[in-house]
């Protein structure tokens, strides 16, 4: 009997990673196929694949949007797809893997120019998300610790913590964690492109972007330039065999750090700093109409693919602005991300006869995930009826995001869902924020009930 192995990974390592693993395991069981799935989530590698298991496997399925250490699968047939396909079409992926020949690999298939363009877009997203996935733990930890610092002593002005107090210490700790955001983002984008030799120039580029005020935009650009510079140097610098060992530890690090450093100081840094300053000024001074439109766009992006590229782009944009002390987009993004699972849960309560027993049970799970700001809880409903359900989600999330921006709600922590609501001063205009989420949830539920096909009661 042919044995299969699989690896699943998503940028945040919270939901898609494990949903894809569960879907693949379930589909394999239905086909009576033995499979082992390695998950590379927020807590690290779980159920790791051993060299012996890799040697014995017929093929490997990689459903991932970040780096998964593919070098260990050299010589094995590999099916490479985005993590979302591991959730949506696990049976098809297993069939493709079983039909592959020992020497075949989907990466070796001929590609047309259009295919190459799509592949390059996928690589760009993969590199970016590799940086984001490594940055997020620092941002989430730092943001929440800063939010917790609001529980403690303040000066008479009510803004700064009293020097030497626990609140001041927490603020310092959180600030240190948040301060690494741009550096780690840049470093791991470069690492994704060039491997270990890309880490040093990427980190240096990130430090320069941070120190020069180029922010997360500068960090992203520095990471890509550093990675491709390091990759080019590795590929094109030829050394005598006796001196080949100097290339990765001396030649490439010195040249790549020097090149990205000079580019950041003399070419890239100041224009990106100006661009970020303009963006910050526009967001800070935007009128009500622009704020509502931005909130609606961010909200719709959060619900469009629920953890996919559009969702992660909106989230990354909002997280990046936290470093510039702009908190309203983050509030809009979290409100919009909570709305789809909460809305579908409410729909299952309002009209039980419109849903099967299995859907009603899934709705209960979705409610918990929604409260935790895990938009992926609504994926099973969206995947089952995308033409009707996803537009319903987008409308409800757009409403939640627009209302949050209109009310001027600000979120000082980049994650946490309903649990952040209980931290004093972590959310600006808390009452209006809860109202925005509630209205978005109701709109989502009503849209679902308006468009959804009737289902037999089971």
Active-site positions read 10
- Alpha-carbon distances, residue 94 vs 17, 23, 84, 409, 430 (angstroms): 17, 11, 15, 46, 47
Beta bridge partners of 50: none
Q: Walk across the sheet containing 59-64 and list its strands.
A: 44-46, 34-41, 3-9, 59-64, 78-81
Q: Are 144 and 413 in contact (CB under 8 A)?
A: yes
Tokens of 356: 């099967």
* Helix 288-304 × helix 328-350 angle, to 10°: 50
User: Dihedrals φ, ψ of 100, to 5°?
Assistant: -75, 145
CB contact at 8 A, 37 and 47 = yes
d(CA 214, CA 446): 43
SS (H, E, C) the chain: CCEEEEEEECCCCCCHHHHHHHHHHHHHHHCCCEEEEEEEECCEEECCCCHHHHHHCCEEEEEECCCCCHHHHCCCCEEEECHHHHHHCHHHHHHHHHHCCCCCCHHHCCCCHHHHHHHHHHHHHHHHHHHHHHHHHHHHHHHHHHHHHCCCCECCCCCCECCCCHHHHHHHHHHHHHHCHHHHHHHHHHHHHHCHHHHHHHHHHHHHHHHCCCHHHHHHHHHHHHHHHHHHHHHHCCCCHHHCCHHHHHHHHHHHHHHHHHHHHHHHHHHHHHHHHHHHHHHHHCCHHHHHHHHHHHHHHHHHCCCCHHHHHHHHHHHHHHCCCCCHHHHHHHHHHHHHHHHHHHHHHHCHHHCCHHHHHHHHHHHHHHHCCCHHHHHHHHHHCHHHHHHHHHHHHHHHHHHHHHCCCEECCCCCHHHHHHCCCCEECHHHHHHHHHHHHHHHHHHHHHHCCCCCCC
Q: In angstroms, rounded to a whole number, what is the distance separating the alpha carbons of residues 171 and 168?
A: 5
């Amino acid at each position: 009997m042919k044995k299969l192995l699989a690896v699943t990974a998503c940028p945040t390592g919270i939901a898609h990673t494990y949903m894809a693993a569960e879907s693949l395991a379930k589909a394999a069981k239905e086909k009576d196929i033995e499979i082992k799935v390695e998950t590379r989530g927020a807590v690290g590698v779980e159920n790791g694949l051993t060299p012996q298991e890799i040697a014995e496997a017929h093929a490997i399925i990689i459903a991932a949007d970040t780096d998964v250490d593919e070098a260990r699968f050299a010589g094995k047939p590999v099916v490479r797809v985005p993590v979302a396909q591991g959730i949506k079409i696990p049976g098809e992926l297993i069939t493709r893997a079983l039909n592959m020949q020992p020497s075949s690999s989907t990466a070796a298939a001929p590609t047309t120019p259009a295919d190459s363009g799509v592949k390059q877009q996928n690589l760009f997203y993969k590199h970016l998300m590799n940086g984001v996935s490594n940055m997020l733990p620092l941002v989430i930890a730092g943001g929440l610790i800063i939010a917790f610092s609001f529980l403690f002593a303040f000066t008479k002005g009510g803004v700064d913590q009293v020097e030497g107090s626990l609140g001041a210490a927490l603020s310092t700790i959180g600030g240190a964690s948040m301060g690494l955001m741009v550096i780690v983002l840049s470093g791991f984008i470069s690492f994704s492109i060039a491997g270990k030799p890309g880490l040093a120039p990427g980190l240096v580029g990130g430090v320069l972007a941070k120190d020069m005020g180029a922010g997360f935009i500068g960090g992203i650009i520095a990471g890509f330039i550093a990675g491709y510079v390091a990759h080019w140097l590795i590929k094109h610098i030829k050394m005598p065999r006796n001196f080949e060992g100097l290339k990765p530890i001396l030649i490439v690090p010195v040249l790549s750090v020097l090149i990205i450093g000079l580019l950041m100081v003399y070419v890239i840094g100041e224009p990106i700093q100006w661009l970020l300053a303009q963006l910050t000024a526009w967001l800070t001074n935007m009128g009500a109409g622009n704020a509502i439109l931005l909130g609606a766009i961010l909200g719709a992006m959060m619900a469009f693919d629920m953890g996919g590229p559009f969702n992660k782009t909106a989230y990354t944009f909002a997280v990046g602005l936290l470093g510039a002390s702009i908190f309203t987009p983050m509030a809009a993004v979290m409100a919009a991300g909570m709305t789809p699972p909460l809305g579908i849960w409410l729909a299952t309560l309002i009209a039980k006869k419109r849903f099967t027993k299995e859907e009603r049970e899934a709705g209960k799970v979705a409610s918990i995930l929604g409260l935790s700001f895990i938009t992926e809880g609504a994926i099973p409903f969206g995947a089952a009826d995308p033409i009707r359900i996803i537009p319903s989600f987008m409308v409800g999330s757009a409403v939640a995001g627009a209302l949050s921006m209109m009310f001027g709600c600000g979120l000082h922590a980049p994650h946490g869902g309903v649990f952040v609501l209980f931290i004093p001063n972590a959310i600006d205009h808390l009452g209006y924020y809860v109202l925005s989420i509630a209205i978005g949830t109701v709109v989502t539920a009503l849209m679902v009930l308006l468009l959804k096909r009737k289902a037999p009661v089971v």
